[in-house]
Amino acid sequence: MKKLVFFLLINFFLIILVVRAQNFKDALRLSEIDVIKSPKALSMGNAYTAVSNDFNAAIFNPAGLGLIKKSEFSISMNYDSFDNEATFFNKIDKYSNNTTKLNQLSFAFPLPTYRGSFVLALGYNQIKDFNYALKFDAFNPANNSLIQDLTSYNDDIAYKLALSYPVYDKSRKYLYDTTLVNGRLNQSGKIIQYGNISSWSFSGAVEIQENIFIGATLNIIGGDFKRDRQYWEDDIYDNYGINLLLDPSEPSTRDFRTFYMNDIINWDITGWNLNIGLLAKLNNNVNLGFSVKTPKLITIKETYFVDAFSDFASTRFTLDPPIQNKTEYKINSPYEFAIGASINQENLTASFDAKLIDYTQMEFKSGLDIRDIENNNRDIKDLFRNVINFNAGFEYLIPFFNVALRGGFILMPSPYKDDPSEYDKKFITFGLGINTKGNLSIDFAYAYGWWKDFGDNYGSNVSRTYQSIQRKIFTAGLRYNF
C-alpha cells in the first residue's frame, strides 16, 4: 500500500490530471477559423470581403452592409459530414460524424438618409463547427503504452486499477510508481467531437462619402464543445499471463486482460469580439475591401470526467468514484486581417480574399496556475506560425433564367510550423442562386474539403494515428427582401 500521505494528496493528483488537459491544442481549437456556411458566401469560396452586399457582410466585412438597398430577412441550414480514414500501425479504420444545424438567422434594415446610406443589422451565425471523428485498432509491438505513460507521471489512475505499484527506499519512504507492463498491447479507440461556436451579431454601416463605406459588428459569442474519447489496451497475445502479478502485493492481478479509459471534456463557451471594415467602390466594376477582427475574448467553463477499469482473469478494478472536476479559464484568439477585391464585368463577378492570422498570438489569460499559463503560452510561441488564407470565387448570372451559378476555392494553411502542404485544408465549392422574380431568393451551396492530420494517443510518435480527412458541407437558405 502507498503511504497514508499519498492518499491524503489524492485530490491534488486528480487536479494535476485535469490541468494537463488544458494545453495549446485547446487554444487552437478555439482560434482556428472555420468555413462560414452561409450558402451564397460559401458557394463563392467565402471570398466575400469586397462582395458583401447582404447580411453576410456582418461576418466578413461589415462595411458591405452599406450596399444593401432593401430590408432583408435570411435563414439557412447546413449538413456537415466529417469522414476520417486513419492508419495506425499499417491498419486502416474509417469513422465519420454528421451534423445538421441552423447556421444563420438574420435581419438587415436600411434607414432613410438625406444622402448616402445607413444600414443596421442583427442576426445569429454559426462561425465554427467542432464536428470530428476518429477510430483506430491495431497491435503496437513496441515497449510503450498509455499504462506506462500514466505511471511515469505517478498518475493515480494506473495505481487504482492495480496496473502500477509504489517503490520505496530502505526507510520506507515513497519514491515513485512503477509498472511491469512493457508495451506489446493491442491499442484501440474512438473519439467523437460535437458542438459549435455561434455569435449574435449587432452591426451597422454608413457611407461616409460617396462610394466609401465603413462598418462594425459586435459579436456576442456562445457555444459548446464535447469530446468523448474511449481507449483500450488489450493483451491479445498473453504477454502478461497467469504467471505474472502486475502488483506483486495483490494476488488478483494475475493474467492481465484489458485496460479501458473513457475521458470526456465538456465546455460551455462565452465571449465577444469586434469586426471593423472598410469598403471602397473604385468604379461600377471594382470594389476593394478591408476588415479587422479583434481577438475573441473567450471564457471556458470546463467539466472533465474520467472513468476507467482494468480486467484480470478473476477481477475487475474500477475507478470508484470516477474522476470529475470543473475549472474555468480564459483564452484570447489572434487578430485576423483580411483584404479583398471584386471585379464585375457584365454578368460575371470574380472575387479574391487574403487573410492574415498570426497563431503565435493565441494566449491563455487566466484561470489556470500561473506556471501552466506560462508553459502553454511558450508552447504556442514555439509550435505555431502566421499564415495567409486564400479565397477565390465567382458568380455568373444567367439573365433569362434568373439563376446565378457560383464556384470557389478555399486554402487554409496549417498553423503549425514546418507542416507540409498536405496538412493544409483545401475546399472546392460551388452553388446555385435562384431569384423567383419577386422578393424571394433561394441559395444552395456544396463544399468538399480534404487534408491530412495526425494524432498521438500519448507521448510523441509512439502511438500515432495518420489521418486522411474529407469534409462535405451542404447548405441551403432563403433570402427575402421587403
Q: Is the pLDDT score of 8 beyond 50?
A: no
Tens digits of residue pLDDT in 286-328: 999 999 999 999 999 999 999 999 999 999 999 999 999 999 9
Tens digits of residue pLDDT in 162-212: 999 999 999 999 999 999 999 999 999 999 999 999 999 999 999 999 999
Q: What is the DSSP string of 193-253?
A: EEEEEEEEEEEEEEEEETTEEEEEEEEEEEEEEEEEEEEEEE-TT-TT-TT-BSSTT-GGG
Percent of the chain past pLDDT 70, that is, above it, reads 96
Tens digits of residue pLDDT in 430-469: 999 998 877 899 999 999 999 999 999 999 999 999 999 9
Q: CA 12 to CA 24: how far, in whole Å?
A: 23
**253: how many CB neighbours lie within 10 A of its CB?**
24
For cell 464585368, what's the residue? 345
- Residue 326 has what pLDDT? 95
**What is the arithmetic mean of pLDDT over 254-281?**
97
Tens digits of residue pLDDT in 81-103: 999 999 999 999 999 999 999 99
- Residue 14 has what pLDDT? 39
The residue type at 412: M
Q: Is the pLDDT score of 160 beyond 90?
A: yes
Q: CA 160 to CA 323: how far, in whole Å?
A: 12
- Please choose, from the candidates 104, 64, 445, the residue with its C-alpha nearest in 3D space to the C-alpha of residue 288: 64
Domains of the chain in sequence order: 4-481 (2.40.160.60)
Confidence band for 65, pLDDT divided at 50, 70 and 90 = very high
- Residue 114 has what pLDDT? 81
Answer whether 314's CB lies under 8 Å from 257's CB. Answer: no
If 0-12 CB within 10 Å is exposed, 13-18 middle and 19+ buried, where does residue 190 land? Answer: middle
Confidence band for 21, pLDDT divided at 50, 70 and 90 = low
- Residue 1 has what pLDDT? 36
What contacts 180, CB < 8 A, 6 or more positions away? 240, 244, 245, 246
Q: Is the pLDDT score of 387 beyond 80?
A: yes
- Residue 52 has what pLDDT? 82
Look at residue 131 and give its three-state secondary structure.
coil
Tens digits of residue pLDDT in 369-379: 999 999 999 99
The C-alpha cell that represents 349 in the structure block: 463577378
- Range 201-235 burial, b when 16+ CB lie within 10 A, else e: bebbbbbeeeeebbbbbbbebbbebebebbbbbbb
For cell 504556442, what's the residue? 380
pTM for the predicted model, two decimal places: 0.92
Confidence band for 213, pLDDT divided at 50, 70 and 90 = very high
